[in-house]
Chains A and B, each alone.
Chain A
Amino acid sequence: DAGVIQSPRHEVTEMGQEVTLRCKPISGHNSLFWYRQTMMRGLELLIYFNNNVPIDDSGMPEDRFSAKMPNASFSTLKIQPSEPRDSAVYFCASRRSRASGQDEQYFGPGTRLTVT
């Protein structure tokens, strides 16, 4: 299994530009999560999807952030317009729910975003 795939791995952009982060979850996983990691705030859940449907987006910081999951194998996180405070590592994770409850999430390698 290829694991969770994220692209790009690194992104440097100027303030005001649109940024799109991409994620391909593990095949067969029915939940997908977007996290942001910074030194100051640690790991924060931004949004997650079950069966391609957004379930909880209360972690999305502002209207500048949006996420979509058009199908079971692809999701995007978009920031428009980007600001320097958006600089962080963005992780995508996927999960397959199990009756046993051991539904660990598998993380992608992350996208390191720098907004100048």
Chain B
Amino acid sequence: AQKITQTQPGMFVQEKEAVTLDCTYDTSDPSYGLFWYKQPSSGEMIFLIYQGSYDQQNATEGRYSLNFQKARKSANLVISASQLGDSAMYFCAMRISNQAGTALIFGKGTTLSVSS
């Protein structure tokens, strides 16, 4: 079965510190994609970063990086130098493929709280 698991319901970090949000996945497809989205309190879903299963290097986008460990089936999001504006819910998602096509499945999310 294809599945995304985020085990941390909530994380707390001080401003300027780094934080890692965990994500593990399960799939038997050799080709897949992993995504992270941010949902602030205003409710919109904001795409942050993408990692393809065949990508040799870990993805990075500014202060966001993805710690991709294929053998362990984990795709943790690392946020460096946290800012107050990073306080939000973060979702890990995986692109799944079936006979019908491709879509995303989402984890339950992790709430990140950044304090000054």
Which residues of A approach B to under 8 Å, CB–CB? 31, 33, 42-43, 45, 48, 50, 55-56, 89, 91, 93, 100-107, 109-110, 112
Contact A45 B31 (CB under 8 A): no
Complexed CA–CA distance, A102 and B61 (Å):
14
Contacts of A93 in B (CB 8 A): 45
Complexed CA–CA distance, A112 and B44 (Å):
11
Contact A55 B101 (CB under 8 A): yes
Contact B106 A105 (CB under 8 A): no
Contact B106 A43 (CB under 8 A): yes
**Residue on A nearest B33 in the bound complex, by CB:** A101
Taking the nearest CB of chain B, how far is it from the CB of A6, in angstroms? 10
Complexed CA–CA distance, A43 and B105 (Å):
8
**Residue on A nearest B49 in the bound complex, by CB:** A104
- Interface residues contributed by chain B, number (CB under 8 Å): 24
- Could you jot down 26 A-B contacts, CB within 8 Å? A33-B103, A33-B104, A42-B106, A42-B109, A43-B106, A45-B104, A48-B101, A48-B103, A50-B101, A56-B98, A56-B100, A93-B45, A101-B31, A101-B52, A101-B95, A103-B33, A104-B47, A105-B47, A106-B47, A107-B37, A107-B45, A107-B46, A109-B44, A110-B43, A110-B45, A112-B43
Complexed CA–CA distance, A77 and B1 (Å):
28
Most chain-A Cβ atoms within 10 A of its Cβ — which of B50, B102, B107?
B102
